[in-house]
Structure 1
Amino acid sequence: MSRDTIPAEVKRAVLVEAGHRCAIPTCRATTTEIAHIVPWADTQDNSFENLIALCPNCHTRFDQKKEIDRLAVKMYKHNLGILNNRYGEFERRLFELLAKSGERVFVLGAAGDLLVANAVKDGFFEDKHVQGMNFDIKSDSGYSKSFPMTFTYWVTDAGVEFIKRFASGNDIA
């Protein structure tokens, strides 16, 4: 049986879902291939739900070497949906960095509070309100406002657990 071509719009959606990177959080290589979660030979299924972006190395480790099992790849796919609907690109990259480094404290510059707002709301990061540089505005009419230029965050215990689940491909829901 000849294999059907994956429609361009489905390929595009799969690549966009993964940010044009490998869907495995500890990899995230930028060269990607489209992989079938359940083999095409078994299902003839080229649907978005059955496809995932993997780098050539992870694709081989999944399809041929069986070093990455199907349940893990299904969880990576599931987690992409949650990550993409809840967290911004900056937060996702920060999760990756923290998974690799194991750091529990980080400092962000101006507007950093906006970049991690959902992770703070979810209890993964805590703003320690460390005094740093501020930009102060004072007008002749008496108006004054101080804007923080740095934000210091602590990764909470819940954040450490979330990042571990994220990096290992376990359910992050």
Structure 2
Amino acid sequence: MQRDHIPAEVKRAVLVEAGHRCAIPTCRATTTEIAHIDPWAKSNDNSFENLIALCPNCHTRFDQKKEIDQQSIRMYKQNLSILNNRYGEFERRLFEILAKSGERVFVVGVGGDILVANAVKDGFFEDKHVEGMWLEIVGDNGYQKKFPMSFTFWVTDAGVEFIRRYASGVDISS
């Protein structure tokens, strides 16, 4: 049986889901291929649900060398869905950086509190309210407002566990 081509809109959706990067969080290489989670030869399935973006190296490690098992690939796919529906691009990149560095404290600039708001709401980061530089606005009518120029966050124990689970490809839904 001749292998069907994956429709362009399905390829695009799979690549967008992974941010045009390898779906494996410890890799995230920018050169990607579309991989079948259930092999096409067995499933004849080119659906979005059966496809994942992997770099050529991870694709080979999954398909040929069997160094990455199918259950892990399924978990990476499931985790992408959760991450993309709950967290912004800044939060997702921050999770990746913190997974690699192991840091527990980070500082973000103006507006950074908004960029990590969902992770704060979920209890993964805590604003330490460290005093720093402020911008003070004073209007002619006596209006005054101070805005912080930076925010210092602590990665909570729950955040450390979430990031560890995310980076290792374990289910992050709980």
TM-score w.r.t. the length of structure 1 is 0.99
Q: Which amino acid aligns with 2:165?
A: R
Residue 140 of structure 1: CA displacement? 3.2
Q: What is the match of residue 64 of structure 1?
A: 64
Structure 1 position 143, deviation (Å): 1.1
**Counterpart position of 1:172:** 172
Residue-by-residue CA offset, 1:135-168 (whole Å, 9 max, x unaligned)? 0012232211000000000000000000000000
Identity within the alignment, %: 81
What residue in structure 1 maps to residue 109 of structure 2?
Answer: 109
Partner of 2:124: 124
TM superposition shift of 1:26: 0.6
Paired residues in the alignment total 173
Alpha-carbon distance between aligned partners in 1 of 2:140 and 2:49, rounded to the nearest angstrom: 60
Aligned equivalent of 1:98? 98
TM-score between both structures, scaled by the size of structure 2:
0.98
Q: CA RMSD in A?
A: 0.5
Residue type matched to 1:105 in 2?
V
**Matched residue, 1:12:** 12
Q: Do structure 1's residue 89 and structure 2's residue 89 form an aligned pair? A: yes
Find the aligned partners of 1:51 and 1:152 in 2 and give their Cα distance.
Answer: 39
User: Aligned partners of 1:82, 1:67: CA distance in 2, in Å?
Assistant: 25
Paired residue secondary structure (1:16): helix
Displaced runs of 4+ in structure 1, greater than 3 A? none
The AA in structure 2 aligned to 1:96 is E
Which residue of the partner structure matches residue 39 of structure 1?
A: 39
Give the aligned residue type for 1:130.
V
Task: Summarize deviations over 1:25-74 as a string: whole Å, max 9, x none.
Answer: 01000000000000001100000000000000000000001110000000
- Whether 1:23 aligns to 2:20 is no
Partners of 1:153 and 1:60 in 2: CA distance: 38
Match of 2:160 in 1: 160
CA distance in structure 1 between the partners assigned to 2:13 and 2:150 by the alignment? 36
- Separation (CA, whole Å) in 1 of partners of 2:50 and 2:124: 30
- Name the SS for the 1:15 alignment partner: helix
Extract unaligned runs of 5+ from structure 2: none
Code of the aligned partner of 1:135: L
SS of corresponding position for 1:154 = strand
In structure 2, the residue corresponding to 1:166 is in which secondary structure? Answer: helix
> 1: distance between equivalents of 2:59 and 2:9?
21
